[in-house]
A and B are shown apart, each in its own frame.
Chain A
Amino acid sequence: MRPFEYVSPTNKEQVAILLGERGSILAGGTDLLALMKDDVVAPERLVNIKHIDSLRGISYQPGNGLRIGALTTIAEFAEDANVRRYYPVLADAANEVASPQIRNLATIGGNMCQRPRCWYFRNGMGLMAKTADGKSMVLAGDNRYAAILGNAGPAYFVSPSTLAPVLIALGAKIRLYSAKAAGSGVRELPLEKSFVIPKSENELEHDLKPGEMVIEIVVPPPSQDLKAASYEVRQRAAFDWPLAQASVALEMDGSAVKSARVVLGHVAPIPWISPEAAQALVGKSISPDTAMAAANAAVAQAKPLSHNKYKITLAKAAVKRAILSAAGQSAGGAA
């Protein structure tokens, strides 16, 4: 690891100034320190935000829903009584993340901002790794875990967070803050808007302005008629990244779907919202057939690379099973 400065401010107003040009925010450090040890990133200064109390806490109000402070650990989040009661799908997804040790350190803010696991990137070849003659290494090389959607290039990695798709399905918003920004400094946007597909090596996969940080995530209160579920296809039974994930939130009108959100994870450089899949469900009652139709719609636009065609099948299975499980029907699968 290269040498760096370390600062530990106690209020969020100081963060933007301390970050300067080449600083990085340090939260749980479960991702950032690994990247630094592997010399993939080399920030000159770490701004530890763990002493900023206003970023902590998790609370629920019937009218406003859930507020999750950026420093909430994944373990705290998974165990929170309100999360378990009102958003069991979130608690379940949180319990699937990594290992107990990592869940105890990793924060929600860090989970949203974690960097992709693309092996070209993690081996120091760049997020848009290129060969000497300017071709994409991912396209020419081993892309078995790469994107099948949103993969027009040059980005082929997949968005790593398994919580983001669930939060997006539930309509979560993210609040960002920078002391340098105008007015209150707070910017609120739908969570999905904070993820972008970068177009060059200099861009990030997050829409964070320099000096900006995540302060909290808010999830609207669940309506009476909400049915939500998430399904992750993992090769190992535990402590593994999903190969594909689907999170769905269905707003029901009796037995028919009034509106739907279907969000796929680990298939595109961003959490992938599928309006096609949602459309296939609206007005229908849930059955294996409608679920399958939605699953087919979700991957209709998918384009496999040389080694990842199987991920289309996995994405389909994940969508189908998430829908059936949201409707309380057995998906027949899962071991």
Chain B
Amino acid sequence: MSEYKWPDPATRPLLGKRISRVDGPVKASGRAKYTYDYNPNGLLAGKILRCPHAHARIVSIDSSAAEKMAGVKAVKVLQPPGTEIFWAGDEVVGVAAVDESTAEDAIRAINVQYEVLPHFVSDAEPPTNIGANNGPISRDDFEDMEDNQVPDEQVIASIKANGISFKPDDKYLKDAQASGVDPKVVAALRAAKYAEAKTSRSPYKKTAVQKQGDPDKAFTSAAAVSEGLYGASCITHCCLETHGMASEWPSDKDLVVHVSTQNLSGIAPQVSEPLGIPAGNIQVLQQYIGGGFGSKFSPDRWGIATAQLSKAAGGKPVKIMLERDSEQKVAGMRPSGFARVKIAADKDGKLVAWESRSWGTGGVGGGGTPPLPYIFEIPNQRKQHIAISTNQGSARAWRAPNHPQAAVITMTAIEDLATKMNMDPVDFITGNLELTGPREKIYRDELPIAAELMDWKKIWHSRGDKSPGPIKRGLGLSLHTWGGRGHNSDCDLTIHPDGSVEIKMATQDLGTGCRTIIMIVAADTLGIPLDNIKLLIGDSRYPVSGASGGSTTSGGVTSSTRRAAVDARDQLFAKVAPALKAQPEELEAVNAAVRVKSDPSRSLRWKEACAKIGAMPMTIRGKNPDKSKPPDLTNSGVGGVQMADVSVDTETGIVRVNKMVAVQDCGLVVDVKTAESQVLGALIMGISYALYEEKILDPVSGRMLNPNMEFYRLAGIADIGEMKVHMMTGKGYDERGVIGLAEPPVVSPGAAISNAVANAIGVRVPFLPLTPARVLEALENGGTHAAV
């Protein structure tokens, strides 16, 4: 019986060490070819005509002039007349031409008429009376009002004033009354005037109030109650390599695409349907990607357009890479998340009650609800979320969807409460860790390590740096979690008779070190050096592997690689055993040799051993999950603690990060160096969204005003300060198996930095990014905020 479980620390030549990423040199030297770099002979440039209006209906499209232009090879209407467009920058027509400037000229020659419709782009705090005054009341509106315990008189008045847009039958009315709706309200419904639902829908969608325990009682009897306003603005993904795809048809049934994607194995199924060809006829290729962060799972309309344009152009390759402004406008954003929070603790500083009214926008769809309260399972809660539908490019998963917003709403509220109780937030949080469920022990391990790396006890002061001068320093803290179980992933591992080893997997390396950890696991298991392995990824013809989302790649690819490598090694042992006059199970593969465990002098060099395979190479399929080959090698649910040290100039509102500390668990760390890099990258991204990033929409035109990297600011080298990363390893961590790491460390920086700023200047700056305007406003208001 083969042993698939991860090896013990004593027998891990490579696993868990510090190993430089295998594709570092090829990237640093510019030899790595990205989708952007795919420029075959005869490549046609694709361009997209985009709607300039935030909300409009396409009335007509006249592309005849463009079609006649010299050098224009194909024109394709992507959304026909009659289509309602919901955001500025949405795709209308695609063009392929001999070069970019001809394609641009062609775009300008297309005449599209729009009926401009009213737009809504504000994610300011929704009015308190939503549900009222929005035309006839829909069934949803009515049930929402009931769920929200809107007073009966108000509901009745509203029904009388507005009418209803649904026709409640007797059964509905009876059920309503049975479920507690006041008979007077039921009577009002029965008597209500019916009216067609208005087409101008309200942009606000309320979820039902969620209640747990007895929040009212808990607040009344609490020792301390803190109220505050918190949140974070919409940001974009800002991938350095913009989205894009190149398509060509070697025959009229076969399609080859190069695409910048997090989802190599999942592209063909999404492309085949709109094109009407079998997914098996589509080959998807990608070696390197310049960032995705959750925004690159789909081929997108522009990607499909490259295939359609290519087909129309006789199969010639057509490439579309988004311009920076389009990337910022339409290729992904992280929803905003704001909340008014009330939080309470008993006299011992134990959290007892939480109340939140949260809101945010993720574009037309409204956006998801942040998991509030974050991390801490506070016994008594009342919460409600309002999703705001706005006319802007839709939200896409952004590194740990909803968690950064939840952290920035919860960890700040907790810190404000701790301040109110005159407690050091480290002590306050430590005192409440039993509310963190299965991760309690992890946080208990991590907090003291973080505090020591930050020198917290020495530097921390109670709220408000009292030292003279305009520069104030402060410390802040936040906790986070994430799932991260390994995704489905297959691979083929081949051992050739000459000793070379090859692994094929249709996965992608997002710059996370995916290549490196696959090779580490295989080399570690086979006892051979890394460079003895040739890893082939980035081609959909290889065995299917999951999308890189949800921090699932590391767990998935290492698990299937481990199983394949163990099986391959054991099959090799079977071939080699006779030559070493031993049983297969008496053998081990170490130091590029196969030898007898009890008598290492009976040994064959790796190459000699592999020669025993025979004339043909042997290929083994590794899978994840694979119940037939236990144990489960991956796991889920990580914990991390971060601390920030900032300086704030109280005369200019400018925040500088002096230092960040991140203590992070991700189960068994395959490569400490690439893991640390991942956390460093997350800290930089976190500093960026904490201080600078904001997708700014113009209330007047509905367009994004900063679709660039000039006023959409990212942190530069001078802005990131010192960064200390500590990965949890050893007992309690290693045996959990491999867990993904991409998302968790980006959750906390915003909250930690916001807390540090509050600690420095003595008042809370409610929203991220912590711009000079917001910091100065908070200082001026003394931290009180009537309206948003």
Chain A residue contacts of B719, Cβ below 8 A? 236-238
A233 touches B700 (CB 8 A): no
How many residues of chain B are within 8 Å of chain A by beta carbon?
40
A237 touches B700 (CB 8 A): no
Cα A123 to Cα B708 in complex, Å, equals 10
Q: Kindly supply a per-residue 1/0 record for chain B positions 697-722, scoring 1 wherever the CB is within 8 Å of any chain A CB and 0 otherwise.
A: 01111010111101101011111000
> Are the C-beta atoms of B470 and A333 separated by less than 8 Å?
yes
What residues of B have a CB within 8 angstroms of the CB of A142 in the complex?
696, 698-699, 705
Interface of chain B, main secondary structure: loop
Provide the bound-state CA to CA distance between A169 and B407, in Å.
Answer: 48
Q: Which residues of A contact B101 (CB under 8 A)?
A: 1, 3
What is the interface of chain A mostly: helix, strand, loop, or mixed? loop
In the complex the two chains form, is A236's CB within 8 Å of B713's CB? yes
Closest partner residue, chain A, to B700 (CB atom): A141
A131 to B700, CA, bound (A): 8
Quick check: B716 and A238 within 8 Å, CB to CB?
yes
Closest to B468 in A: A332
A335, closest chain B residue (CB)? B656
Per-residue CB proximity of B638-658 to A under 8 Å, as 1/0? 000000000101011110100
Which of B651, B691, B776 gathers most chain A CB within 10 Å? Answer: B651
CB of B469 closer than 8 Å to a CB of A: yes
Q: Is the CB of B703 within 8 A of A123?
A: yes
Interface check B771, CB cutoff 8 A: yes
B464-476 CB mask vs A (1 if < 8 Å, else 0) is 0000011100000
**B649 and A335 within 8 A (CB):** yes
Instruction: State in angstroms the CA–CA spacing of A335 and B645 once bound together.
Output: 13
Complex interface: stretch among A73-81, A193-201, A309-317: A309-317
**Interface assignment of A87: CB less than 8 Å from any CB of chain B:** no
How many whole Å from B71's CB to the nearest CB in chain A?
A: 12
Q: Which residues of A contact B691 (CB under 8 A)?
A: 235
Q: Mark B358-390, 1 if CB is under 8 A from A, else 0.
A: 000000000000000000000000000000000
The stretch of A45-53, A150-158, A184-192, A239-247 that contacts the partner chain: A239-247
Choice from B469, B696, B706, B776 contacting A313 with Cβ under 8 Å: B776
A137 within 8 A of B: yes
Nearest B residue to A238 by beta-carbon distance? Answer: B718
A119, B470: Cα distance in complex, Å: 31
Chain A residues positioned under 8 Å from B708 (CB to CB): 122
B471 in contact with A332 (CB, 8 Å): yes
Are A235 and B692 in contact, with the CB atoms below 8 A? Answer: yes
Q: A117-B710, A119-B711 are in contact. Are A334 and B649 (CB under 8 A)?
A: yes
Contacts of A33 in B (CB 8 A): none
Report the bound CA distance from A334 to B706 in whole Å: 27
* B707 contact set on A, CB distance < 8 A: 123
CB distance from A318 to the nearest CB of B (A): 8
Give bound CA distance, A177 to B440, whole Å.
Answer: 75
Q: Is the CB of B713 within 8 A of A333?
A: no
For the complex, what is the distance from the CA of A85 to the CA of B773, rounded to whole Å?
37
Q: Name the CB-closest residue of A to B715.
A: A236
- When the two chains form the complex, which single residue of B471, B698, B772 contacts A235, counting CB atoms closer than 8 Å? B772
Cβ of B626 within 8 Å of any chain A Cβ, yes or no, is no
A38 to B326 CA separation, bound complex (whole angstroms): 12
What string of 1s and 0s marks CB contacts (under 8 Å) between A37-48 and chain B? 010000000000
> Does B772 lie within 8 Å of A310, measured CB to CB?
yes
Separation of A310 and B706 alpha carbons in the complex (Å): 19
Q: Quick one: which of B469, B706, B710 contacts A332, CB cutoff 8 A?
A: B469
Instruction: Report if B424 contacts A (CB, 8 A).
Output: no
Q: In the complex, what residues of B have CB within 8 A of residue A307's CB?
A: 773
Tell me if A144 counts as interface (CB < 8 A to partner B): yes
B300 at the interface (CB under 8 A from A): no
Nearest A residue to B713, CB-CB = A236
Pick from A2, A117, A333 the residue with the most CB of B within 10 Å. Answer: A333
Interface: A145 (CB within 8 A):
yes
- Interface 1/0s, chain A 304-335, versus B by CB < 8 A? 00011010011011001000000000001111
Q: Which chain B residues border A125 with CB–CB below 8 Å?
A: 701
Contacts of A314 in B (CB 8 A): 652-653, 772, 776
* 419-474 of chain B: CB within 8 A of chain A: 469-471
In the assembled complex, A140 has its CB within 8 A of some CB on chain B: yes
CB neighbours (8 Å) of A239 from chain B are: 716
B116-159 contact mask (Cβ, 8 Å, vs A): 1 or 0: 00000000000000000000000000000000000000000000
A233–B471 alpha-carbon span in the complex (Å)? 14
Q: How far does the Cβ of A168 sit from chain B's closest Cβ, in whole Å?
A: 23
| Alpha-carbon distance A151/B90, docked complex (angstroms) | 35
> How far, in angstroms, from A307 to B777 measured CA to CA in the complex?
11
User: Does chain A have a CB within 8 A of B67?
Assistant: no
Contact (Cβ within 8 A) B471 A241: no
* B104 pairs with A1, CB closer than 8 A: yes
Interface positions, chain A 279-323, Cβ under 8 Å from B, are: 307-308, 310, 313-314, 316-317, 320
When distances are taken between beta carbons in the complex, the residues of chain B under 8 Å from A137 are 698, 700-701
In the complex the two chains form, is B772's CB within 8 Å of A233's CB?
A: yes
Mark interface residues in B748-777 (1 if CB within 8 Å of A CB, else 0). Answer: 000000000000000000000001110011
Residues of B within 8 A of A131 (CB): 700
Chain A 210-250: CB-based contact to B (< 8 A → 1; otherwise 0): 00000000000000000000000111111111010000000
Specify the chain B residue showing the minimal Cβ separation from A332.
B469
Residue in chain A with minimal CB distance to B705 = A119
Contact partner of A140 (CB less than 8 A), chosen from B471, B699, B776, is B699
CB-CB under 8 A from A235, the residues of chain B are 654, 691-692, 713, 771-772
CB-contact partner of B471 in A145, A236, A333, under 8 A: A333
Bound: A36/B105 CA distance, A: 13
How far apart are A239's CB and chain B's nearest CB, in angstroms?
6
Q: Nearest Cβ distance between residue A329 and chain B, in whole angstroms? A: 13
Chain A's closest residue to B709 (CB) is: A239
**A residues 106-143 with Cβ under 8 Å of B?**
117, 119-120, 122-123, 125, 131, 137, 140-142
Given the complex of chains A and B, what is the CA–CA distance between A316 and B649 in angstroms?
Answer: 14
Which residues of B (159-217) have their CB < 8 Å from a CB of A? none
**Inter-chain pairs besides A142-B699, A235-B713, A314-B776, 14 sampled, C-beta below 8 Å:** A2-B105, A2-B108, A119-B711, A120-B698, A120-B705, A141-B698, A141-B701, A144-B773, A236-B718, A238-B716, A239-B716, A313-B651, A313-B653, A317-B652
Smallest CB-CB A-B distances: 10 pairs = A237-B718, A141-B700, A310-B773, A317-B651, A335-B656, A119-B705, A238-B718, A332-B469, A310-B776, A333-B470
- Would you give 18 A-B contacts (Cβ < 8 Å), ordered by A? A1-B104, A2-B105, A3-B101, A119-B706, A119-B711, A120-B705, A123-B705, A142-B696, A145-B711, A235-B771, A238-B716, A238-B719, A310-B772, A333-B471, A333-B649, A334-B471, A335-B647, A335-B654
A residues sitting closer than 8 Å to B (CB atoms) are: 1-3, 38, 117, 119-120, 122-123, 125, 131, 137, 140-142, 144-145, 233-241, 243, 307-308, 310, 313-314, 316-317, 320, 332-335
